[in-house]
Copies of this chain bind each other. A is one copy, B any other.
Amino acid sequence: MSHTTLDDYQDRYAARIHGMAASEIRALFAVASRPEVVSLAGGNPYTAALPMDELGDMFTRLLAEDGARALLYCPGQGDAALREQICGVMADVGIDASAGASPDDVVVTVGAQQGLDLLARVFLDPGDIVLAEGPTYVGALGVFQAAQARVRHVAMDDEGLIPRALEQAIAECPAPPKFLYTVPTYQNPTGVTLSGERRVEVLEICERHGLLVVEDDPYGMLSFDGHRPRPLRAMRSEGVFYVGTFSKIFAAGLRVGWVLAPPAVRDKLVLASEAAVLCPSALTQAAATRYLTTMAWREQVKAFSALYCERRDAMLSAMDDYLPSAMTWTRPGGGLFVWADLPEGLDSKAMLPKALAKRVAYVPGTGFYADGTGRGQMRLNFSFPTAERIREGVRRLAGVIESAGELRDTFAP
């Protein structure tokens, strides 16, 4: 090998690497995290609301009482005590023993992201087709891309996935799709929730076509009206893999999530996880277990939800006040995000540098599609900035949109 050129290794990479590119969200991080920028671009929970002193005491006790174990390796499936606790968390949203949920069928993962990645490793060969909402979670697109799978989007409206569109997408697939990936509750990026009636319809369609379902449910507990939609997995145990996480109900920095899957699939997920990371952190698993058993975690989820509800209200009222009447947006009943449609002819991707210059950040809609659509949309986050910052950010954004509209009018007939 001679001296380093731009990329000495170019001819050596695996095929999967050629399709991988940095997501538009990641590329934004550096600029959007400057303090003078109001970032509506993130997806961060408001961890500052956690009781840091109590957590410090919890870690001190954990290390004193169980440190030697918590600082070691643990089984690849994850800690047994945590898997028990996870079943308690799932029971709160209706996935209980009567729905066939058991600690034996839980695989602890490095955040929900690893849950998606393991499911992809277990089920996806290059060229396989995955169905997903359009738009969908950007991190899931990264997983499917790394697995060299093809994503076909299924249209959604204010009630979530459109059953007729799902039927049509299945019919149009050149080969049977491997699974439907869906975030049915307070979806990322739209904030939309699949209605109860449609849940029944979607499950019926999937069952009829033998289509597996990967249900990703990071936001289901962050309800603003106290009503928590019943997960698909609570309605059907076969053919539905449930992916959960502590990222939004406790702390994203732990990287503790899980997959609930039937025994045969669970065994494969564990093997895949052992190859990928040996095991998740025993320390953060022990922390999650103690948090659930010794602290008022349900109260904390209520506190997060109340805070995000207040911030959603701030965002929606600022949008009502400042944004042009030609725009529409979702009104989420929970979660972290609002999804907005720009006035016709405006391009969220092209507009972003101008927005950053005006010190406001968002994520262009294109990040949430595998096929380049989404230029007319944007995702706005309300969980992390304060209500005041949200209002100021939307005001700045309105100015950017107005300028872009004027530019469009000048050059269009």
Contacts and interface: CB of A to CB of B under 8 A. Distances in A.
Interface of A: 1, 3-4, 6-10, 12-17, 20-23, 26, 29, 43-45, 47-48, 50, 52-53, 55-57, 59-64, 67-76, 110-111, 113-114, 117, 121-125, 128, 139, 142-143, 145-146, 178, 207, 210, 212, 238-239, 247, 251-255, 262, 264-265, 267-268, 271-272, 274-284, 287
Contact of A63 (B52, B71, B272, B274): B52
A255 B272 contact: no
Count of identical protomers in the assembly: 2
B268 A17 contact: yes
Given A123-B12, A253-B74, A142 B281 contact: no
Contacts of A14: 121-125, 128
A27 to B, nearest CB: 11
Given A16-B121, A139-B278, 15 more contacts: A8-B238, A9-B212, A10-B264, A12-B123, A14-B123, A15-B125, A47-B68, A53-B64, A57-B60, A69-B253, A72-B253, A73-B252, A110-B277, A139-B274, A254-B281
Nearest to A2: B238
Contacts of A29: 75
Contacts of A271: 17, 20-22, 142
Contact of A145 (B110, B267, B275): B275
Contact of A117 (B10, B276, B281): B276
A17 B253 contact: no
A157 to B, nearest CB: 28
Contacts of A44: 72-73
Contacts of A283: 251, 253-254, 284, 287
B9 A117 contact: no
Q: Which of A48, A111, A277 has the most CB of B within 10 A?
A: A277
Contacts of A6: 264
Q: 9 tightest CB-CB pairs across the interface, nearest first? A: A56-B60, A71-B251, A7-B264, A59-B59, A253-B282, A48-B68, A146-B275, A71-B253, A47-B71
Given A6-B264, A277-B111, A122 B17 contact: yes
